[in-house]
Amino acid sequence: MNKAAFYDLDGTLLSCNLVTMHAYYARNDRSLIKSAYQLTKVLLSVPLFFGLDLYSRSLFNIFSFRAYRGMHRDRLIGLADDLFEVTLKPSIFPRAQALINTTSELGYRNILVTGTLDFTIRPIALHFGIEEVICNRLEFNNHIATGRVLPPLLAENEKARSIRVYAAREGIDLAQSCAFSDSSADVPMLSSVGFPVATNPTRRLRRVALQRNWPILELREASSTFPPFLKPAKAS
């Protein structure tokens, strides 16, 4: 039977931030004047995003994808590598690659499960050497983003559902699988596998992890040790 390691991305393997990503696309618009205009828009919307994030995660998601409205798909794909180099690569946590290598050596299929968009994920997945991705996709109308996400929107409960569907299709045994996430929003996803790991947990998730006796892992610190089930001796 197959086993898999499900990874959340944002906050778990790297700390990317929606605002810096939007700011990147804004300042790389086709001309300098357009860039300046877009950048002002992003800066003005920062307080709104903060407020929304505190109020409701799913509302925040909907609004954050709205920011892509009117952008050409070619541009989003064409600038993805640069975005990765500029904003994402520097924010990868020191132990992230080591963790991914360990799980794949132990025979887990590495799968990214994230709300980030497909074109942004691609260079990240290649960088980590992850070949399977479950992620959000924007809706396009004649190559122009409409600002909506193709349903289902991948977040919270939907993440748990989609990994169950994926596991059934690919013949993955969830009881033997592990999952890594940093946020309490991913508790449903973490609970659906046999070996959940609270990775760089937020305060709320840390509390849940302590209650349920889940291992806690810090990828931000180079000296952190991996949970016991990832030790080769035990796994074999």
Partner 1 sequence: MKPLTNWRWNSVRGEYETGNPVPIEGTGEISAVDAFANKTMLLLGGTGFVGKVVLAMILDRFPELKCLVVQVRRKKNLTGEERFYMEILHSPPLRTIVERIGGEEVLRKKVQVVEGDFNQPLCGIPPGAIEQLKDKVDVVVNLAGVVDFDPPVNESFDTNIFGTEHLIELAQLLNAKLVHVSTSYVAGKKNGRIPEDVSIGYFPFRDADDGRHFSVAEEIRWYETFVDEMRQNRAGDQRPLRERLREGGMNRAEYWGWTNTYTYTKSMGEQLIARTPGLTYSIVRPAIVESSLHFPFAGWNEGFTTSAPLVLMGGDGVKGWPVRNGPLEIIPVDLVASGILIVTAAVLCGKNKRVYHLASADENPIMLPRLVAFLGMNSRYKHKHKKSGSRLANLWKAYVDTHVITVESLAARRARVHRGLDVIHAALTLGKTILGPEKVGPYLKSLRDTRRQIRQQEVTLDKFLPFMFHNSFIFETRNIREAARMLTNEDLKRVQWDPKIIDWADYWVNIHTKGIEKWIRPVFAGRRG
Residues that bind partner 1 (CB under 8 A): 28, 30-32, 72-75, 77-82, 85-86, 118, 122, 126, 131-133, 137, 143, 150
- Minimum separation from the CB atom of position 26 to partner 1 (A): 14
By C-alpha distance, which of 138, 159, 199, 206 is closest to 14?
199
The CB-of-168 to partner 1 minimum distance in angstroms stands at 14
- Smallest gap from Cβ 81 to partner 1, in A, equals 6
Nearer to partner 1, 143 or 231 (CB): 143
The rounded distance, in Å, linking the Cα atoms of 183 and 214 is 14
Q: How far is the CB of 49 from partner 1 (least distance, A)?
A: 26
Using the Cα atoms of residue 100, residue 227, residue 3 and residue 198 in order, give the sign of their dihedral: negative
Cis ω for the linkage preceding 188 (within 30 of 0): no
- The smaller minimum CB distance to partner 1, of residues 46 and 150, is found at 150
Measured from the CB atom, the residue of 118 and 182 that comes closer to partner 1 is 118
Q: Nearer Cβ to partner 1, position 104 or 202?
A: 104
Q: Which amino acid is at 91?
A: S
In the complex, what is the shortest distance from the CB of residue 188 to partner 1, in angstroms, rounded to a whole number?
Answer: 23
Q: Report whether 5 contacts 111 (CB < 8 A).
A: yes
> Residue 149: in which H helix or E strand, if any?
strand 144-149
Residue given tokens 């074999």 in the structure block: 236
CB 96 within 8 A of CB 13: yes
What is the nearest approach in angstroms of partner 1 to the Cβ of residue 7?
Answer: 15
- CA–CA distances in Å: residue 16 to residues 13, 21, 90, 116, 126: 9, 8, 9, 10, 17
Beta carbon nearer to partner 1, 81 or 221:
81
- Other CB atoms within a 10 A radius of the CB of residue 71 amount to 20
- Of the two residues 32 and 233, which places its CB atom closer to partner 1 in the complex? 32
